Structure 1
Amino acid sequence: MRWSLWMCRLIVGFLFVSSLFLFSTSSTSSFYNSSSPCHPHESSALLHFKHSFSIFNYPLLDHEYCGNNIRASTKTVSWKNGTDCCTWSGVTCDKVTGNVIQLNLHCSKLQGIIHSNSTLFFLPHLRSLDLSFNNFSGSQISANFGRFTNLRHLNLSYSFFNGQVPQEISYLSQLISLDLSSFYNNLKLETWSLQRIIANLTNLKELCLGYVDMSFVKTHSLMNLSSSLTSLDLSDSDFRGKFPEIFFLLPNLQVLYLEGNEELTGSFPKSNWSTSSIRELALSWTAFSIDMSYLVKNLKFLNGLYLSNCKFITSYPPLAMVANLSKITFLDLSYNNFGGHISWNIFLNLQQLISLDLSGNNFIGQLPKNCANSSNQISFLCDSSHHQLPSHVPMNLENLDLGSNNLNGTIPSWLYSLSVLKELDLSNNQFIGTIQEFQYASLSHLYLGGNKLHGPIPVSLFQQQNLTELDLSENNLSGAVGLDQFSKLKNLEALTLSYNNLSLSFNNFDNYTLPNLVYLELSSCNLYEFPYFLRASEYLLVLDLSQNKIQGNIPKWLWNVGVDTLGFLNLSHNLLTGYVPEQLPWKYLYCLDLGSNFIQGHLPIPQAFTVLYYISYNQLFGEIPSSICALTSILVLDLSHNTLNGSIPLCLGNLSELSVLDLQMNVFDGTIPMTFSKGNSLVNIVLNGNQLKGPLPRALLNCRNLEILDLGNNTINDTFPQWLESLPNLQVLILRSNKFHGSIGSPNVRFPFQKLRIMDLSDNQFDGLLPTQYFENFLAMMHDERVRTLEYMGKDLSWKYRSGVIVSGYYQDSMMVTMKGFEANFEKIPNIFTTIDLSKNNFDGEIPKSVGNLKSLKGLNLSHNKIWGHIPTSLGILSNLEWLDLSSNNLYGEIPMQLSEMTSLEVLNLSQNHLEGAIPSGNQFDTFRNDSYIGNLGLCGFPLTKTCGDDEAQQPSPSANDDEEATNGFQWKYVYMGYGSGLVIGISVGYMFFSDERLACLMRKVGGDRWVKLLKKRKRPNGGFSRRRRN
Structure 2
Amino acid sequence: MWKLLGLLRILIMLLLLQYHVAVSLPSAPTSKHLSLSMQKVALFQFKLSLLIHTSASAACTSDRSYPKMMNWSMSSDCCMWKGVTCDPMKRNVFGLDLTCSHLEGVISPNSTLFQLSTLQFIYFDGNNLHGVLPDSIANLKSLTTLSLSDCNFSGPIPRTLGNLTKITYINLEFNHITGPIPYSLANIQSLEYIFLHNNSLTGQFPSWFNNFGHLVSLDLSDNLLSGHLPSNLTALNLTRLLALDLANNLLDGMIPSWLFDLPSLKYLYVDYNGFIGQLNEFNSSRSALEHFSCRENMLNGTIPQSFSKLVNLTHLNLADNQFGGEIPQWNGLILKGSSFYLNLSHNSLIGGIEHLPWDNLFILDLHSNMLNGSMPASISNSSSLCILNLSHNNLRGVLPSFPRNANQLKYLDLQSNMLNGFLPSFICNSSILHILNLSYNNFSGALPTCLGSVNYSLSVLDLRMNSIGGSLPSSLAFGKLRTLNLYGNKLEGTIPVSFAKFSYLEVLDIGSNHIRDTFPHCLESLPTLQVLVLKSNKFHGFISNDSKIERPFPSLRIIDLSYNEFSGLLPAKYIRNFSAMMNGDVHKVILGYMGYASYSDSIIVVIKGVEIELVRILTALTTIDLSQNKFEGEIPEYIGNLKSLRYLNLSHNYLTGHIPPLIGKLSVLESLDLSFNRLDGVIPQQLTNLFSLSHINLSQNNLSGRIPEGAQFHTFENDSYAGNLGLCGRPLSKKCIAEKREEEDDDDDDYFFSGLTWKAMLLGYGCGMVLGFVAGYLMFMAGKPKWLTKIVAREPGLIVSGMEIRRR
Is TM more than 0.5 here? Answer: yes
Shift of 1:640: 0.7
Q: 2:372 aligns with which of 573, 577, 596?
A: 577
Q: Does the aligned pair in 2 maintain the 1:393–1:414 contact within 8 Å? A: no
User: For 2:138 and 2:551, how far apart are their aligned partners in 1?
Assistant: 59
Shift of 1:527: 2.7
Q: Does 1:396 align with 2:190?
A: yes
Q: 2:400 aligns with which of 572, 585, 604?
A: 604
Letter in 1 for 2:680: Y
| Equivalent position SS for 1:651 | coil
Corresponding position of 1:567: 362
Report the more deviating stretch, 758-767 or 740-749.
Answer: 740-749
Q: Does 1:690 align with 2:690?
A: no
Q: 1:876 aligns with which of 647, 660, 664?
A: 664
Q: Does the aligned pair in 2 maintain the 1:348–1:393 contact within 8 Å? A: no
Corresponding position of 2:589: 788
Q: Does 1:502 align with 2:299?
A: yes
Report the more deviating stretch, 539-548 or 705-714.
Answer: 539-548
Corresponding position of 1:647: 446
Corresponding position of 1:71: none
Change in CA separation of 1:879 and 1:261 when aligned onto 2, cut-off 3 Å = closer
Shift of 1:537: 1.8
Q: Does 1:851 align with 2:639?
A: yes
Q: 2:458 aligns with which of 658, 663, 666?
A: 658
Change in CA separation of 1:475 and 1:329 when aligned onto 2, cut-off 3 Å = same
Q: Does the aligned pair in 1 maintain the 2:446–2:469 contact within 8 Å? A: yes
User: For 1:690 and 1:873, how far apart are their aligned partners in 2?
Assistant: 40
Change in CA separation of 1:344 and 1:628 when aligned onto 2, cut-off 3 Å = farther
Q: 2:276 aligns with which of 478, 484, 497?
A: 478
Deviations 1:7-26 (A, max 9, x none): xxxxxxxxxxxxxxxxxxxx
Change in CA separation of 1:369 and 1:652 when aligned onto 2, cut-off 3 Å = farther
Corresponding position of 2:250: 452
User: For 1:728 and 1:673, how far apart are their aligned partners in 2?
Assistant: 23
Shift of 1:358: 6.2
Letter in 2 for 1:683: R
Q: 1:927 aligns with which of 690, 715, 718?
A: 715
Q: Does the aligned pair in 1 maintain the 2:155–2:179 contact within 8 Å? A: no
Q: Does the aligned pair in 2 maintain the 1:517–1:540 contact within 8 Å? A: no
Q: Does the aligned pair in 2 maintain the 1:426–1:449 contact within 8 Å? A: yes
Say how many residue pairs are matched.
Answer: 653
User: For 1:416 and 1:389, how far apart are their aligned partners in 2?
Assistant: 12
Shift of 1:775: 1.7
User: For 1:754 and 1:418, how far apart are their aligned partners in 2?
Assistant: 62
User: For 2:535 and 2:127, how far apart are their aligned partners in 1?
Assistant: 46
Shift of 1:304: 8.9
Corresponding position of 1:14: none
Corresponding position of 1:765: 565
Q: Does 1:938 align with 2:726?
A: yes
Change in CA separation of 1:540 and 1:504 when aligned onto 2, cut-off 3 Å = farther
| Equivalent position SS for 1:650 | coil
Deviations 1:345-400 (A, max 9, x none): 587766566666666x59686753869x99x9x9xx9x968999999965433223
**RCO higher in structure (CA 8 A, sep ≥6):** 1
Residue correspondence of structure 1 range 350-429 to structure 2 within 5 A: 361=150, 368=157, 394-405=188-199, 410-411=204-205, 417-429=211-223
Q: Does 1:443 align with 2:241?
A: yes
User: For 1:666 and 1:900, how far apart are their aligned partners in 2?
Assistant: 44
Letter in 2 for 1:862: L
Q: Does 1:907 align with 2:695?
A: yes
Residue correspondence of structure 1 range 183-222 to structure 2 within 5 A: none
Q: 1:529 aligns with which of 316, 321, 326?
A: 326
Shift of 1:638: 0.6
| Equivalent position SS for 1:844 | strand
Change in CA separation of 1:464 and 1:492 when aligned onto 2, cut-off 3 Å = same
Instruction: Identify the structure with the greater helix proportion.
Output: 2
Change in CA separation of 1:511 and 1:416 when aligned onto 2, cut-off 3 Å = closer
Q: Does the aligned pair in 1 maintain the 2:368–2:393 contact within 8 Å? A: yes
User: For 2:120 and 2:557, how far apart are their aligned partners in 1?
Assistant: 53
Shift of 1:486: 5.9
Corresponding position of 2:347: 548
Corresponding position of 2:769: none
Report the more deviating stretch, 719-728 or 730-739.
Answer: 719-728
Q: Does the aligned pair in 1 maintain the 2:330–2:355 contact within 8 Å? A: no
Letter in 2 for 1:625: P
Shift of 1:767: 1.2
Letter in 2 for 1:529: E
Change in CA separation of 1:315 and 1:521 when aligned onto 2, cut-off 3 Å = closer
Stretches of structure 2 that go unaligned for 5 or more consecutive residues are 1-58, 742-808
Corresponding position of 1:965: none
Shift of 1:830: 1.4
Task: Please identify the structure whose Cα radius of gyration is greater.
Answer: 2
Q: Does the aligned pair in 1 maintain the 2:531–2:556 contact within 8 Å? A: yes
Q: Does the aligned pair in 2 maintain the 1:676–1:703 contact within 8 Å? A: no
User: For 1:643 and 1:411, how far apart are their aligned partners in 2?
Assistant: 51
Change in CA separation of 1:866 and 1:415 when aligned onto 2, cut-off 3 Å = farther
User: For 2:260 and 2:293, how far apart are their aligned partners in 1?
Assistant: 14
Deviations 1:250-291 (A, max 9, x none): xxxxxxxxx99868987759479977989xxxxxxxxxxxxx
User: For 1:778 and 1:388, how far apart are their aligned partners in 2?
Assistant: 60
Shift of 1:517: 0.7
User: For 1:901 and 1:392, how far apart are their aligned partners in 2?
Assistant: 65
Q: Does the aligned pair in 2 maintain the 1:815–1:826 contact within 8 Å? A: yes
| Equivalent position SS for 1:723 | helix
User: For 1:861 and 1:486, how far apart are their aligned partners in 2?
Assistant: 64
Change in CA separation of 1:811 and 1:512 when aligned onto 2, cut-off 3 Å = closer
**TM-score, normalised by the number of residues in structure 1:** 0.58
| Equivalent position SS for 2:382 | coil
User: For 1:847 and 1:760, how far apart are their aligned partners in 2?
Assistant: 17
User: For 2:498 and 2:107, how far apart are their aligned partners in 1?
Assistant: 55
Q: 2:526 aligns with which of 727, 731, 740?
A: 727
| Equivalent position SS for 1:485 | coil
Q: Does the aligned pair in 2 maintain the 1:349–1:391 contact within 8 Å? A: no
Corresponding position of 2:550: 750
Corresponding position of 1:464: 262
Change in CA separation of 1:547 and 1:389 when aligned onto 2, cut-off 3 Å = closer
Residue correspondence of structure 1 range 22-37 to structure 2 within 5 A: none
Corresponding position of 1:623: 422
Shift of 1:501: 0.6
Shift of 1:330: 7.9
User: For 2:127 and 2:705, how far apart are their aligned partners in 1?
Assistant: 59
Change in CA separation of 1:751 and 1:835 when aligned onto 2, cut-off 3 Å = same
User: For 1:698 and 1:452, how far apart are their aligned partners in 2?
Assistant: 56
Letter in 2 for 1:773: K
| Equivalent position SS for 1:449 | coil
User: For 2:451 and 2:147, how far apart are their aligned partners in 1?
Assistant: 46
Residue correspondence of structure 1 range 223-302 to structure 2 within 5 A: 270=71, 295-296=83-84
Corresponding position of 1:711: 510
Q: Does the aligned pair in 2 maintain the 1:911–1:932 contact within 8 Å? A: yes
Q: Does the aligned pair in 1 maintain the 2:181–2:206 contact within 8 Å? A: no
| Equivalent position SS for 2:388 | strand
Change in CA separation of 1:594 and 1:948 when aligned onto 2, cut-off 3 Å = same
Shift of 1:695: 1.2
Q: Does the aligned pair in 1 maintain the 2:96–2:123 contact within 8 Å? A: yes
Shift of 1:611: 0.5
Letter in 2 for 1:313: H
